[in-house]
A and B are shown apart, each in its own frame.
Chain A
Amino acid sequence: MIRLAARGVLLQFKILSQSAFDMLNAAFWPLVFATIAYYLFRSGSHARSLFDASLGATVMTMWATCGIGAAFAVQWQRRLGTLELLVASPTPFIALLAPITIAYAALGIYSLASTLLWGRVLFGIPVDPVHPFLFVVSLPAAILAIGMLGLLVSSTLILYRAAGALGNSLEYPIWLATGLLVPLSLLPGWVRPISWLLAPTWGMRALRESALGGSPLPAIGWCLVTSAAYAALAAVFLGHFERLAREKASFALT
């Protein structure tokens, strides 16, 4: 199973690297977000530091690439005509979908590095996390949590041909509901419980508190808890939806 997961991640990277458009996209967006974040918070009245803004931009990019990319995975397999073949194999579908998600999630490392480097070089934003070790731990925890949210979204879209569009529509609501775009304190109170259920909230908190000071360990723990919950839910959904798809004949190649 580990070999299969490693092969899946490797091949997904190969596939992504074969497209100049995908590569340009992956390279370009973190820089755009970092630039917007800098100008937004430089001229704004909020007292958040520029480093904080860069971290927010990083997690936004992570969700844009990891979460949405993972959500598109089912649609992409359907378009290629490989969805039926994967489902018709004896390996549980979640074991085939998760490596794709992880590959997208791993792009989050690049997102972080490029965003922070771009901010440092162009705008002089300091990169000096208060807890460097915990910052390094927070990053994979955040990536895992965001990737698993993508997997969960992906698993619920197996029945629908318009899965890609539906996945895309989740990009901005997640940015908002997890406090990446504006602080949660500015949003209505009922949004807060929703944000607690969303992994990017804890990913952002873990990165922020390890970078700017605080206790990131609870947030890292919540990243792991939400990841495990998302993975378990995705496994249940995939099993259930696979059966429904066999009943409804929605594993069509087109």
Chain B
Amino acid sequence: MPVVETHELRRVYKSTTGFVRRRVKATEAVKGVSLQIEEGELFGLLGPNGAGKTTTIKILTTLLLPTSGSATVLGFDVAKQAKEVRRQIGYVFGGERGLYDRLSALDNLRYFADIYRVPPRAQRSRIDELLELVGLKGRERERVETYSRGMKQRLHIARGLVHDPPVLFLDEPTIGLDPVGARELRGTIAGLKDAGKTILLTTHYMFEADDLCDRIAVIASGEIVAEGTPATLKSRVAERHVIEIEVFGAEAAAIDRVRALEGVSSVAVEDHDQAQLLVVQSARGAALVDSLLRELDGTRIGRVVSREPTLEDAYVDLVGAT
């Protein structure tokens, strides 16, 4: 039996505008998401901002009710058996909030241990274990407001694990961390998977999903557009080739001309300060560099790199198609 299962999950947000003439606006954030996560699996939900990742995770953690469809965690219905679900899960989100920053890490962990009814005798050893796990041993009596962002995030993980839940929901846990802090945290997450936890991780960092996840679902505009192992998703673009062109002040018309070129599968534009990076995907073997540069005639060109596709290219291809 899957540990986490959703079936045709939908969530509509309603907002009202206007004072005299009130208008109700409905936004469908999740449109029929179905997924299954097996025991001990680290499952990645990958998608851009506003794709529906956090809404899905909030439904699974019982903070939101689905508009329709169903979801279960360890067989418990998240809408009707919220209390049972809450006992079995740990929920960790990214960012600096979600902690009592005027208190020490120890006080934060003790409080949440009481909230989750961890027996008093087991609390000390459990908290010690967690402080070791997240590398905060020796700093536990310092006030959280004096911690770095990375330390706070690791404390978040410890808080989410204080009652030793079998299922863990991690909502963009590495967001805003410096590269070293993010790498340390990824190491901690990998350790949790090794310890047998079932984990649902949302992220928009491709390398993170590639590095950590057993399986990935790509979500865009509220729908799952692809699902599989990182290798399977990469294979979607295996027959392609990628050309990166650094341009300065390229006009929209020039980019549209590039898109329209025969043999071009997709074009993604990344803004980098004064420059833009055009990531052009094409069929393998297509000799396109000259044609591309011709279409960009009149635009200042920087470096041009030809490379093999990555998971990120697969992701851009999938998300761009929606």
Contacts and interface: CB of A to CB of B under 8 A. Distances in A.
A11 B65 contact: no
Interface stretch (A30-38, A65-73, A85-93): A85-93
B101 interface: yes
Nearest to B84: A90
A243 B14 CA distance: 16
B103 interface: yes
Contacts of A215: none
Interface string A75-109: 00000111011111111000010000000000000
B300 to A, nearest CB: 41
Nearest to A92: B83
Contacts of A251: 63
A185 B111 CA distance: 47
B115 interface: yes
B102 interface: yes
A98 to B, nearest CB: 13
Contacts of A15: 100, 102-103
B196 interface: no
A14 interface: yes
A18 B87 contact: no
Interface residues of B, number: 33
Contacts of B103: 11, 14-15, 18
Nearest to A253: B97
A87 B111 CA distance: 14
B309 interface: no
B100 A85 contact: no
A246 interface: yes
Contact of B97 (A19, A80, A87, A247): A80
B65 A247 contact: yes
B111 A7 contact: yes
A14 B104 CA distance: 10
A3 B114 contact: yes
A82 B63 contact: no
B91 A85 contact: yes
Contacts of A18: 102-103, 143
B169 to A, nearest CB: 9
B102 A4 contact: no
B115 A88 contact: no
Interface string B301-315: 000000000000000
B120 A3 contact: yes
B107 A81 contact: no
A91 B83 CA distance: 8
Interface in A17-70: 18-19
State the majority secondary structure of interface residues on A. Answer: helix
Contacts of A91: 115-117
Contact of A90 (B13, B110, B116): B116
A147 interface: no
Nearest to B91: A88
Contact of A80 (B13, B89, B101, B143): B101
A82 B120 contact: no
A91 B163 CA distance: 13
A216 interface: no
Contacts of B93: 84, 253
Nearest to A15: B102
B20 to A, nearest CB: 21
B64 interface: yes
A246 B216 CA distance: 27
A249 interface: yes
A119 to B, nearest CB: 33
Contacts of B174: none
A8 interface: yes
A80 B93 CA distance: 13
B259 to A, nearest CB: 37
B153 interface: no
Interface string A230-254: 0000000000000100111101010
Nearest to A4: B114
A85 B110 contact: no
Contacts of B110: 7
A246 B65 contact: yes
A10 B95 CA distance: 27
Interface string B47-77: 0000000000010011111000000000000
15 contacts: A4-B114, A4-B115, A11-B100, A11-B103, A15-B103, A18-B143, A80-B101, A81-B99, A84-B91, A85-B98, A88-B62, A90-B116, A96-B115, A249-B13, A253-B98
Given A15-B100, A88-B62, 9 more contacts: A4-B114, A8-B111, A18-B103, A18-B143, A81-B97, A85-B159, A90-B83, A90-B117, A91-B116
Interface of B: 13-14, 58, 61-65, 83, 86-87, 89, 91, 93, 95, 97-103, 107, 110-112, 114-117, 120, 143, 159
Interface of A: 3-4, 7-8, 11, 14-15, 18-19, 80-82, 84-91, 96, 243, 246-249, 251, 253
